């Protein structure tokens, strides 16, 4: 008899025998004494879900057998003669064969087979301090424990160290990441302890006798020169005949990080200067010694080629903004702050919940530059996950405050879901369980958000609110692109972990889209941005192609994972595609 997980088999002793629940059925089917003895001796001890010790003893009797089947409903005794001409439920010929067998076996001594199996109680999982896991921590542990671990490549490891060094001049925070092949990424942040008219001048040397300098210029085109005078205030990609290096801009920020923001000081930012040395080249950069500002620089260097500059895909993969409008900083990936966010100031940037450049690097992590940068950027941004499980937006949005009373430090489902997808791909690319842990923590948070902040639809679906906060606020709207991105992530997480609640929630969210199908299409065939919006601040116009791409992904996942389609998804795609073609929109998936 096959047992489902968590079930145990009831056993009761009667006279000389201890018989499983199924024993009565075995004997009425005509099993002889010898068959029963063999079956009993081969039976494995069944351990209950509480891991208690079970002891089974089986005694074979040659002439008459008594079995007692015990259930929660009743107990029934059945006595059968194996030497009679017919066994209950069997043919007379079968009974004759069984009788012959029984007669031969009466000359043998009754045999006793005793099997005793002991199992020790498994200790519950504990944290680093030896405290048993409970609640979300236990749920995360169990999901990770049930995730297949043998399907990804060898673990990508790196030695990650952070320390603070202080002298009379400045406090230096430094992060050093050393990869298995010897590649090194480091980031330095300087906070000055005194003002001085003379800047801090520092730098590094690289070996080589020939040099190539590349960067993406202000017109978004790649530029290359072998002249060391031709540098720019950009992220530089430098190759010599002996080394390869990527160096970010020597950034200068005001010494204030309120609401996860930074204010650039562009007039004090200077480009990297390259000079020739006997053994190679010297890269020099500087920061103003000023107590009101801080300086920051990051470098990735290797003894191997970080990119193949004969490969057009490498150019395209590295063409991300890490120095112009967006910045890779000590604690995350920063974007220009929207006009309606507070605080607000010229040249202000804010820490974004997502990591679009790093996520792109992870997806194209087939060469050293993208593999190293994708790993580092994802790790840096991952560290901002809060105790609830999400990545907050620090500044206050005037729109969200006006319409929903949502303050700064809010939860944006789209940005968070995009970063969670980054974590999923990072786990697959690097086989590092820290990425999986952060992903599952977010999954647990999202499940609770969906349960508490959603609208039910007529057939049992749910539309999940776009925004949240740990303080009370008004219910928010539900935009189609958020809903689709979330259910797409859940399908991917189910495919990765096989955790059934992810699949069930994704299906309920898709059902909600199908239930509200007619609410998503406008007379122009463009898509309605959101439903359940009762505010007045936002015009709620759909993106040119983003929502179409989300629908395209949903269709792809349904076909790939489950071999099924959604008529509603296809209908919405057809409507949006018609509108995009009429309005000369490009950039959508084909």
pLDDT tens, residue by residue, 519-575: 999 999 999 999 999 999 999 999 999 999 999 999 999 999 999 999 999 999 999
Q: End-to-end distance of the chain based on CA atoms, in angstroms?
A: 52
Cβ atoms of 484 and 547 closer than 8 Å: yes
Q: Which residue has the higher pLDDT, 18 or 112?
A: 112
Tokens 């950034």 -> residue: 251
Please state, for a pLDDT cut of 70, what percent of the chain lies above it: 79
Tokens 């006793």 -> residue: 112
* pLDDT of residue 66 exceeding 70: no
- Domain layout of the chain by residue ranges: 11-117, 158-352+370-377
Confidence of residue 108 (pLDDT cuts 50, 70, 90): very low
CA angle at residue 75 from 74 to 76, to 5 degrees? 120
* pLDDT of residue 46 exceeding 50: no
In whole angstroms, give the CA distance from residue 371 to residue 376.
9
Question: What length is written for the chain?
Answer: 590
* pLDDT of residue 91 exceeding 90: no
List, for residues 272-331, the tens digit of each pLDDT value.
999 999 999 999 999 999 999 999 999 999 999 999 999 999 999 999 999 989 999 999
Please state, for a pLDDT cut of 90, what percent of the chain lies above it: 76
Tokens 């057009």 -> residue: 312
List, for residues 387-413, the tens digit of each pLDDT value.
999 999 999 999 999 999 999 999 999
Measure Cα distances from 527 to 70, 258, 412, 512, 523 in Å: 62, 37, 21, 16, 9
pLDDT of residue 121: 62
In whole angstroms, give the CA distance from residue 77 to residue 67.
6
Tokens 């430098």 -> residue: 238
For residue 442, report the phi and psi dihedrals to the nearest 5 degrees: -65, -40
* pLDDT of residue 509 exceeding 90: yes
List, for residues 135-185, the tens digit of each pLDDT value.
999 999 999 999 988 666 678 889 999 999 999 999 999 999 999 999 999
In whole angstroms, give the CA distance from residue 270 to residue 280.
22
> Beta partners for 64?
81
Measure Cα distances from 204 to 181, 186, 197, 322, 452 in Å: 20, 12, 23, 20, 53
* pLDDT of residue 96 exceeding 50: no
pLDDT of residue 320: 94
List, for residues 11-41, the tens digit of each pLDDT value.
333 333 333 334 333 333 333 334 333 333 3
For residue 315, report the phi and psi dihedrals to the nearest 5 degrees: -60, -45
Cα-trace Rg, the chain: 34
Cβ atoms of 263 and 347 closer than 8 Å: yes
Measure Cα distances from 69 to 15, 39, 66, 115, 469 in Å: 14, 17, 10, 20, 57
> Beta partners for 479?
530
Whole-number average pLDDT of the chain? 85
Chain-centre distance for alpha carbon 133: 21
In whole angstroms, give the CA distance from residue 558 to residue 350.
36
* Average pLDDT of the segment spanning 448-467: 98
List, for residues 369-390, the tens digit of each pLDDT value.
999 999 999 999 999 999 999 9
Structural tokens at position 51 = 């891991």
CA angle at residue 124 from 120 to 129, to 5 degrees? 125
For residue 333, report the phi and psi dihedrals to the nearest 5 degrees: -105, 120
Measure Cα distances from 465 to 160, 353, 468, 505 in Å: 37, 18, 8, 14
> Beta partners for 295?
190, 252
Among 557, 467, 556, 571, CA closest to 513: 571
Cβ atoms of 247 and 297 closer than 8 Å: yes
In whole angstroms, give the CA distance from residue 94 to residue 125.
54
User: What angle, rounded to 10 degrees, do the helices at 567-582 and 500-515 form?
Assistant: 60
In whole angstroms, give the CA distance from residue 563 to residue 561.
6
In whole angstroms, give the CA distance from residue 462 to residue 483.
10
pLDDT of residue 355: 94
Confidence of residue 504 (pLDDT cuts 50, 70, 90): very high
pLDDT of residue 579: 98
* Core vs surface per residue 467-492: b (16+ CB within 10 A) or e: bbbeeebeebbbbbbbbbbbbbbbbb
* pLDDT of residue 193 exceeding 80: yes
Contacts of 447 (CB under 8 A, 6+ apart): 501, 505
For 46-50, 103-107, 275-279, 538-542, which range has the lowest pLDDT when averaged over its residues?
46-50
Contacts of 308 (CB under 8 A, 6+ apart): 314, 367
């Amino acid at each position: 008899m096959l047992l489902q997980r968590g079930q145990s088999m009831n056993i009761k002793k009667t006279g000389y025998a201890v018989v499983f629940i199924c024993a009565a059925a075995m004997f009425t089917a005509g099993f002889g004494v010898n068959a029963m003895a063999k079956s009993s001796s081969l039976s494995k001890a069944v351990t209950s879900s509480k891991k208690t010790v079970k002891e089974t003893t089986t005694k074979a009797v040659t002439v008459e057998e008594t079995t007692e089947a015990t259930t929660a409903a009743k107990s029934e005794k059945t006595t059968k003669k194996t030497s009679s001409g017919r066994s209950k439920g069997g043919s007379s010929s079968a009974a004759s064969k069984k009788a012959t067998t029984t007669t031969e076996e009466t000359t043998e001594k009754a045999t006793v087979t005793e099997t005793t199996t002991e199992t020790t109680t498994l200790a519950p999982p504990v944290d680093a301090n030896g405290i048993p896991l409970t609640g979300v921590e236990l749920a995360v542990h169990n999901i990770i424990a049930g995730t297949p671990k043998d399907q990804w490549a060898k673990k990508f490891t790196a030695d990650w160290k952070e320390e603070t060094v202080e002298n009379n001049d400045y406090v230096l925070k430094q992060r050093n990441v050393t990869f298995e092949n010897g590649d090194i990424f480091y980031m330095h942040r300087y906070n000055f302890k005194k003002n001085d008219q003379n800047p801090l001048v520092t730098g590094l040397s690289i070996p080589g006798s020939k040099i190539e300098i590349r960067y993406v210029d202000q017109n978004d085109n790649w530029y290359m020169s072998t002249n060391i005078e031709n540098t720019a205030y950009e992220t530089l990609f430098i190759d010599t005949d002996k080394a390869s290096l990527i160096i970010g801009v020597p950034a200068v920020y005001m010494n204030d990080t309120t609401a996860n923001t930074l204010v650039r000081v562009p007039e004090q930012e200077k480009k990297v200067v390259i000079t020739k040395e006997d053994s190679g080249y010297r890269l020099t950069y500087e920061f103003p010694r000023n107590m009101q500002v801080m300086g920051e620089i990051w470098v990735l260097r290797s003894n191997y080629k970080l990119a193949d500059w004969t490969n057009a895909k490498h150019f395209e993969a590295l063409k991300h903004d890490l120095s112009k409008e967006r910045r890779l900083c000590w604690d995350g990936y920063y974007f220009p702050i929207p006009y309606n966010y507070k605080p607000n100031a010229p040249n202000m940037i804010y820490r974004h919940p997502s990591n679009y450049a790093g996520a792109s690097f992870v997806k194209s992590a087939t060469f050293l530059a993208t593999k190293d940068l994708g790993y580092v950027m994802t790790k840096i941004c991952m560290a901002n996950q809060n105790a609830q499980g999400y990545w907050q937006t620090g500044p206050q949005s005037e729109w969200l405050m006006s319409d929903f009373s949502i303050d700064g430090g809010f939860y944006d489902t789209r940005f968070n879901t995009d970063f969670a997808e980054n974590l999923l791909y990072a786990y697959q690319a690097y086989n590092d369980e820290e990425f999986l842990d952060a992903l599952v923590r977010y999954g647990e948070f999202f499940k609770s958000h969906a349960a508490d902040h959603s609208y039910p639809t007529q057939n049992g679906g749910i539309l999940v609110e776009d925004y949240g906060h740990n303080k009370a606020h008004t219910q928010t709207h539900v935009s189609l692109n958020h809903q689709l991105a979330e259910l797409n992530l859940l399908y991917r997480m189910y495919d990765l972990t096989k955790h059934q609640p992810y699949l069930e929630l994704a299906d309920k969210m898709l059902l909600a889209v199908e239930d509200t199908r007619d609410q998503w299409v406008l007379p122009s065939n463009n898509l309605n941005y959101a439903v359940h919006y009762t505010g007045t601040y936002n015009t709620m116009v759909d993106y040119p192609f983003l929502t179409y791409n989300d629908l395209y992904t949903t269709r792809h996942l349904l076909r790939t994972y489950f071999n099924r389609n959604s008529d509603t998804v296809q209908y919405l795609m057809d409507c949006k595609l018609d509108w995009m073609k009429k309005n000369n929109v490009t950039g959508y998936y084909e």
